[in-house]
Structure 1
Amino acid sequence: MAVHVVKYGDTLWAISKRYNVSVENIVAANGLPSPSGIVPGLALYIPERKHLNRGYRIKPGDTLWSVSRRYGTTVDQILAANPGVEASALVTGRVIEIPSPYKKQVTTLGFILPRADGTITPNLAEAAPSLSYAAIVAYTFTEQGTAIAQAEDRPIITSCRQLNVNPLLMIRNIQNGTFNGPLVGTVLGNTQYRRNLASSVASFVRQKNYAGVSVDFEYVPPANRGDFVLFLRELKAAIAPKLLHVNIHAKTSDQPQNPITGGHDYRAIGQVADLVAVMTIEYGYVGGPPNPITPVDWMEQVLIYSVSRIPPGKIQAAMPLYSYDWALPSNKVTSRAVLAAQNLAISKGVTIKFSAAQATPWYRYSENNIQHIVWFEDIRSIIAKYRLMDSYDLAGMTYWHLALSFPQNWLFVRNNLLVIK
């Protein structure tokens, strides 16, 4: 694969000649609005047969010979890909490039929201080859722990099955459109209500032929930290042998009394769940100052803590398919799909910048005398995130959410990863 960052004076025709790839293929791979629509700083994914090198983090006792055997390559090829690395002086913790014919095997999950009109986002079909699971975001529960469907989910379940994607019932503590901590605290803290919730979720799973459950309980009160783990054990037993997937807040240390993250006991949750999705998103958030949604330096700090508490083979990191646009100085935020953010930069004719430390693209524009700053994702930023996933030997990634277009991501996954179905 290749990545081309557009420079002043570049044209798609010249870029296509350089890489021997048609203009039409470049336009399609990157979701460009037209062959003439490029701006300086735009990162283009150039479709090629060769896939990306693997990233491997040196462990105590490793030798280049043992690493080469694991990845189906040679010591000479590894040395050629890593100038400055000496076979006799490997540094534990250093990430090295591995030219390997083996693709990283991943378990992926995309979140999908049912539409009010019953139609299904066409992005599901585009993303399906890159997905192991789809979590259908359609369920909440009452104060007595009775699960309730908020939308018709049967058409999406059927489509997922037809597309060879395993559908999961997603249960959330949503009330009046927002996550409700007291609601989940009330249910988890009452043995009867808690068991009723596990039972009623399991009933929907059997009734609608779901492949399992994805739990997203946010703002779990710290006092109910242990109750949440009890619920997960009861739910796992109720849906066995189906999959239990749990989404947890990102954090870099355990602060049991923190009102946002304290209710999630990483170690205990990791012992119960089959897969744990660490929500490495919302570093830049609605209501806060302009920042990347998933800066890679912060993401790594979260993963360092996560793998110290949960087996890496159970962990998924989160990848945003969305962008945030801050109006200044009010910091009012508009959210768009990554593709829409890319193409907004093109329509405004602005130069796209790239934060190397955070591995994230951004740009500024002006509209109606109001300055805006946009943080989004591109092929460079997702490569950095997938390399982290590989180097920490995680299970895979999750994507919020599938109605949002990001063609570079799906093409990258198809070309460079082996998705477990």
Structure 2
Amino acid sequence: MGVHVVQSGETLWAISRMYRVSISEIMSDNGLPSTNSLTPGLALYIPRDQSPYRLYRIKSGDSLWKLAVLYNTTLEAITEANPALAQNSLSVGQIITIPTDVKVEMVTLGFIVPYSQQAAIEQVSRLAGQITYLAVAAYSLTAEGYAYVQLEDRELSSTSKRLGLNPLLMIRNQIGSEFSAELIGRVLENPDFRKNLVNSLIALSRERGYSGISIDFEFIPPARRSDFLAFLRELKEALGTLILHVNVHAKTEDIPNNPIIGAYDYQGIARIADIVAVMTIDYGYPGGPPDPVSPAWWIEQVVMYSLTQINPKKLQIAMPLYGYDKIVPDNTTIARSVMAAQNVALAHWRPIQYDERADSPFYQYRQNDQEHFVWFEDIRSYIAKYRLIDLYGLLGTTFWQLSLPAPQNWAYVRDRVNIIKS
């Protein structure tokens, strides 16, 4: 699988010899700060040491021969990987393992907040081959519905196009750095303000060379559910062939009166939007109890509900490039990139544990007489999420956000995913 979990007493030199991969390559792909930066439980991505496989759910009419041809493998390889499998008794819904070098294909979207436009351009340039769409989070709106620029983005938009990316103007209902339910509720309920918003978004996207718009309106008042759909219809009609990408909070059932998820009519949104991105992040949220940020069991529940409402070829799920370091018991929260979270464990020589149900790593450490509990992501948790995307045939994934270093994720995408460039 290309993953090595460090055991007590192991050295980077010995691991390098074991897999015949250079120390420098292991360090680079895993964001290690030094050659002695190891701790028990640390999961390392090992490039080129892979026995790649994909998960597949049996459909009506499938046979092992058809699957062997589809995945460019052999009957013998499939049966060897699935010892309990009987060729003549495949059952619909059964999940099997298929050894294959055929890569999963997906559409990816990376979010970027251009606090420094030059730094954002440098980061996007490094990751351009692994991204389909770039959503530039640089816009908000006034109380009368006029979209406006918060952060300069002209050069970023034009550069991303030269790099083969499709830039999307991303607008959020923020006042300062906080999402405002009152702001978006006021605009959505007023047809004139909605028109202002549509017209100003179209004008800005044309002026700045965007390929479409990504909507991230959070905490929409539930009473504005139908108004949100009306706005999306009006916006998509004005966009024409340009992309309408809509981000929605994750849910496992429809609760129309819920203040967080109630305004999102998944089915209605999916009829209008080109892509719907379900934000399968922050299950463990800032200020809340120590919980995994993006547990696999929860993501699968969200996906299963979402697929009752949204065509899988329109559906993206979200991957966090961050973790949360929580000081217990008051749960004061420090957000860290996944690389920084990993390296805090290394700096404190703390063993890393892994929750198999959540498919998420965690550890604890003590500093300044305070106890810290950290949930983050590593190569194992990312692989688990990519396999869910593959298993359910989803369009792909989004990444929040590209300025947060996550070298293991990008090394895996480089090696095991074919990015669809539209």
TM-score category (smaller protein): over 0.9
Instruction: Name the residue aligned to 1:35.
Output: 35
Alpha carbons 1:294, 1:319 under 8 Å: kept: yes
Alpha carbons 1:205, 1:239 under 8 Å: kept: no
Map 1:73-112; keep pairs closer than 5 Å: 73-112=73-112
Other structure's SS at 1:72 match = coil
Paired letter, 1:336: R
Instruction: Name the residue aligned to 2:54.
Output: 54
Please report the RMSD computed on the Cα atoms of aligned residues, expressed in angstroms: 1.4
Alpha carbons 2:21, 2:47 under 8 Å: kept: yes
Alpha carbons 1:222, 1:258 under 8 Å: kept: yes
Map 1:167-316; keep pairs closer than 5 Å: 167-316=167-316
Paired letter, 1:174: Q
In 1: Cα distance, 2:318 partner to 2:293 partner:
11
Q: Could you list the per-position Cα deviations for residues 301-321 of structure 1 after superposition, in whole angstroms to 9, with x for gaps in the alignment?
A: 000001111000111110000
In 2: Cα distance, 1:52 partner to 1:272 partner:
37
Q: Could you list the per-position Cα deviations for residues 221-267 of structure 1 after superposition, in whole angstroms to 9, with x for gaps in the alignment?
A: 11111111111111111112111100011000111111110100001
In 2: Cα distance, 1:342 partner to 1:42 partner:
8
Map 1:142-161; keep pairs closer than 5 Å: 142-161=142-161
Paired letter, 2:328: L
In 2: Cα distance, 1:349 partner to 1:278 partner:
36
Q: Could you tell me how far 1:88 is from its partner in structure 2?
A: 2.3
Q: Which runs of 5+ in 1 are unaligned?
A: none
Change (3 A) 1:76 1:117: closer
Paired letter, 1:355: D
In 2: Cα distance, 1:175 partner to 1:246 partner:
20
Q: Could you tell me how far 1:118 is from its partner in structure 2?
A: 5.4
Change (3 A) 1:297 1:143: same
Q: Could you tell me how far 1:121 is from its partner in structure 2?
A: 5.9
Q: Could you tell me how far 1:382 is from its partner in structure 2?
A: 0.4
Other structure's SS at 2:7 match = coil
Alpha carbons 1:145, 1:197 under 8 Å: kept: yes
Paired letter, 1:94: Q
In 1: Cα distance, 2:90 partner to 2:205 partner:
49
In 2: Cα distance, 1:138 partner to 1:174 partner:
10
Please identify, of 47-56 and 81-90, the stretch whose mean Cα deviation from structure 2 is larger: 47-56
Other structure's SS at 1:157 match = helix
Instruction: Name the residue aligned to 1:15.
Output: 15
Paired letter, 2:247: N
Tell me, yes or no, if structure 1 residue 2 matches structure 2 residue 7: no
Please identify, of 186-195 and 365-374, the stretch whose mean Cα deviation from structure 2 is larger: 186-195
Change (3 A) 1:284 1:121: farther
Other structure's SS at 2:83 match = coil
Instruction: Name the residue aligned to 1:363.
Output: 363
Q: Could you tell me how far 1:195 is from its partner in structure 2?
A: 1.7
In 1: Cα distance, 2:262 partner to 2:64 partner:
41
Q: Which runs of 5+ in 2 are unaligned?
A: none
Map 1:268-417; keep pairs closer than 5 Å: 268-417=268-417
Alpha carbons 1:282, 1:293 under 8 Å: kept: yes
Alpha carbons 2:223, 2:263 under 8 Å: kept: yes
Tell me, yes or no, if structure 1 residue 71 matches structure 2 residue 58: no
Change (3 A) 1:350 1:119: closer
Alpha carbons 2:52, 2:101 under 8 Å: kept: no
Instruction: State the identity %.
Output: 48
Please identify, of 177-186 and 281-290, the stretch whose mean Cα deviation from structure 2 is larger: 177-186
Alpha carbons 2:39, 2:349 under 8 Å: kept: yes
Please identify, of 96-105 and 251-260, the stretch whose mean Cα deviation from structure 2 is larger: 96-105
Alpha carbons 2:2, 2:49 under 8 Å: kept: no
Q: Could you list the per-position Cα deviations for residues 278-337 of structure 1 after superposition, in whole angstroms to 9, with x for gaps in the alignment?
A: 000000001210000000000000000011110001111100001100101111000010
Alpha carbons 2:158, 2:209 under 8 Å: kept: no
In 2: Cα distance, 1:165 partner to 1:117 partner:
16
Paired letter, 1:350: R
Q: Could you list the per-position Cα deviations for residues 323-370 of structure 1 after superposition, in whole angstroms to 9, with x for gaps in the alignment?
A: 100101111000010000111110100100000111000000000111
Q: Could you tell me how far 1:126 is from its partner in structure 2?
A: 2.4
Change (3 A) 1:258 1:24: same
